[in-house]
Amino acid sequence: MKEAMMNAQVGDDVFGEDFSINQLESTAAGMFGMEAGLFCPSGTMTNQIAIKCHTQPGDEVICDETSHVYQYEGGGIAFNSGASVKLLHGDRGRISSEQVLHSISLP
Ligand SMILES: Cc1ncc(COP(=O)(O)O)c(C=O)c1O
């Protein structure tokens, strides 16, 4: 792994000049049938971007009470997206579609 990292063709991703990132994003986009991909260097960053993309301020994010986005991401849902959280008691982290359906708050 270290050898691959040392030999990777790199560049400034801000200018789209990082060959390895460009290749990774384009391969991932192709795998999922999307027009473009976006490499995120951490899981927390990825989760927070996804929540921001899928919510509007005032929305509610429904998740298990043990979920990483709630327990370990420092209130990022409220800070980054202006959304609140509704916690469900799942089965070792797994929640059912019925639980989600019954917990949706209608305006
Ligand atoms: C089990 C687990 N560990 C760690 C993370 C955070 O990843 P990172 O340390 O890359 O931000 C996540 C994010 O969803 C996770 O689900």
Summarize pLDDT for 55-104 with one digit per residue, the tens. 999 999 999 999 999 999 999 999 999 999 999 999 999 999 999 999 99
45 Cα to the center of ligand 1, angstroms: 9
The answer, yes or no, to whether any atom of ligand 1 lies below 6 A from the CB of 41, is no
Q: Reduced to 3 states, what is the DSSP secondary structure of residue 24?
A: helix
Q: Are residues 22 and 55 in the same domain?
A: no
Q: Are residues 18 and 63 in the same domain?
A: no
**Residue 18 within a domain:** yes
**Residue 10 within a domain:** yes
Total Cβ atoms within 10 A of residue 83: 18
Q: Are residues 95 and 64 in the same domain?
A: yes
Q: Domain count for the chain, please give it.
A: 2
**Is pLDDT above 90 for 105?**
no
**Residue 37 within a domain:** no
Q: What is d(CA 36, CA 91) in angstroms, rounded to the nearest whole number?
A: 35
**pTM of the model as a whole:** 0.83
For 72, the domain range is: 43-103
Q: Are residues 16 and 64 in the same domain?
A: no
Q: What is the mean pLDDT of the chain?
A: 96
**Is pLDDT above 90 for 43?**
yes
Q: Which residues have a Cβ under 8 Å from the Cβ of 28 and sit 6 or more positions away?
A: 34, 37, 39
104 Cα to the center of ligand 1, angstroms: 26
